[in-house]
Amino acid sequence: MRILIDECIDERFRNSLRGHDCQTARYAGLAGLKNGDLLTAAETAKFDVLLTMDQGIEYQQNLTGRSIAIIIFRTKSNRLKDLLPHVPACLGYIESIQPGQIVRIES
């Protein structure tokens, strides 16, 4: 899977998702884009999943017909130490998530 990691997530988190092509928004040249524009650019770049902490994205964006899925982290913070315990859940969702789907990982 091609995974895009939003700017709000510690970029070192990409190293935890072995076996997947993970890029940060900054590395992919998508830094500064907001919600709809970010999703469109990510789809154009052939990303399958967006990882974010943006709690409002699921209410602001209609994913019907989209080719990208979103995993939203609801953790204590965006620090790596707070994200790492959720790697197994994240990997599980990555394996089963479908385009246009939104799932949440909560602490």
Q: What separation in angstroms does the CA of 89 have from each of 2, 39, 56, 84? A: 17, 22, 21, 10
Pick the CATH number of 2-106 from 1.20.1440, 3.10.450, 3.40.50, 1.10.287: 3.40.50
Per-residue pLDDT of the chain (107 residues; tens, 9 = 90+): 999 999 999 999 999 999 999 999 999 999 999 888 999 999 999 999 999 999 888 888 888 899 999 999 999 999 999 999 999 999 999 999 999 999 999 98
Give the pLDDT of residue 81. Answer: 96
Contact between 73 and 83 (Cβ < 8 Å): yes
Give the pLDDT of residue 62. Answer: 84
Give the pLDDT of residue 6. Answer: 96
Tell me the whole-structure pTM to 2 decimals. Answer: 0.94
